[in-house]
Amino acid sequence: MEKFKIKIAEEFSTKPGGRQIKYGPFSGEAFYKELLEKRFDDAIKTNEKLYIYLDGTGSYGSSFLDESFGQLAREKGRDLVINNIVFVTETFDWIVDYIKKEVWGEK
């Protein structure tokens, strides 16, 4: 049972944007502040994992991913984030690879 999850296309936007709020709508910064940080904290408090559903959007840019998932790792600790975020996708395996390798620096 997934107690904590975010379906990005349903809860945030089908068209994610750039890095910061000042550069346009649906930015990585907005996603982090509006949804990701709080939902992650709630999951961690109850020893649960946070499931992120990526499908249903146009796609994601590196700036969006860095300002959301990268920021989460910088704020909460890389290992805590890596061990407690689960990505769910049928179409964005390449985005998951990018987050793990380029944003979180996993080998």
Nearest approach, Cβ of 105 to another protein (angstroms)? 10
Nearest approach, Cβ of 43 to another protein (angstroms)? 23
Q: In the complex with another protein, which residue's Cβ is closer, 9 or 48?
A: 9
Q: Of 36, 47, 22, nearest to 70 (Cα)?
A: 36
Task: Read off the tokens for 74.
Answer: 């910088």
Q: In the complex with another protein, which residue's Cβ is closer, 15 or 38?
A: 15
Rg (CA), the chain: 13
Q: In the complex with another protein, which residue's Cβ is closer, 49 or 82?
A: 82
Taking residue 101's Cβ as centre, other Cβ atoms within 10 Å add up to: 11
Nearest approach, Cβ of 45 to another protein (angstroms)? 27
Nearest approach, Cβ of 47 to another protein (angstroms)? 29
Side-chain-facing half-sphere of 41: CA atoms under 13 Å: 9
Q: In the complex with another protein, which residue's Cβ is closer, 53 or 64?
A: 64
For Cα atoms 51, 56, 74, give the angle at the middle one, nearest 5 degrees: 45
Enumerate binding residues for another protein (CB under 8 A).
Answer: 13, 15-20, 22-27, 58-64, 66, 70, 74, 91-94, 98, 102
Cα separation of the two ends of the chain: 29
